[in-house]
A = this chain, B = another copy of it.
């Protein structure tokens, strides 16, 4: 679509563009997606005018940076599918995905935000689903997890553990691993297990929830 070779940027312009991207990456990771373009400009040592000229609005910047990060998650899911033990596959996915989100506040926000014009983000997010579905299905079939575990449980568990990630960020960054362990123990099969009291969300309902979900 946007051919980068249409009109090559002048050297100083290109340098500033890189600085802006680096600053944005940094600020998104440490302070989340609601930093200001003005903030990013300042952090990049560049005027706000320059920032707005290069990136018409923040969403463009978010897409440019965050699609890659979401794809990293996809890669992790794929790798976890290679793991022969289905249980370790699930565990590995949660551990690595959460570690990524713990290190990047923006990633977490972009994963769980209603689109509003973030097409490519939404697309990347959807691309994540098949691998996660497989991860869950093979674990259920192998009897490695409780039989009523469903695909949509994975993002929701991820979501709720993010709360702890945020809470612990400045106190005990590893805290989320404690609660992940508890949840994982709750996912393992066991003989005296009562069936879950409420059905998992279906794909449609889940998307509906995502859409209505705000901040």
Residues of chain A whose beta carbon lies under 8 Å from any beta carbon of chain B: 146, 153, 156-157, 159-164, 166-168, 170-172, 174-175, 177-179, 181-187, 190, 193-194, 196-201, 205, 208-209, 212-213
Contact = CB atoms under 8 A, between A and B. Distances in A.
Give the oligomeric copy count.
2
A25 to B, nearest CB: 23
Main SS at interface, chain A: helix
Nearest to A212: B170
B197 A181 contact: yes
Contacts of A156: 164, 167, 179
A30 B160 CA distance: 21
Contacts of A175: 198, 201
A64 to B, nearest CB: 26
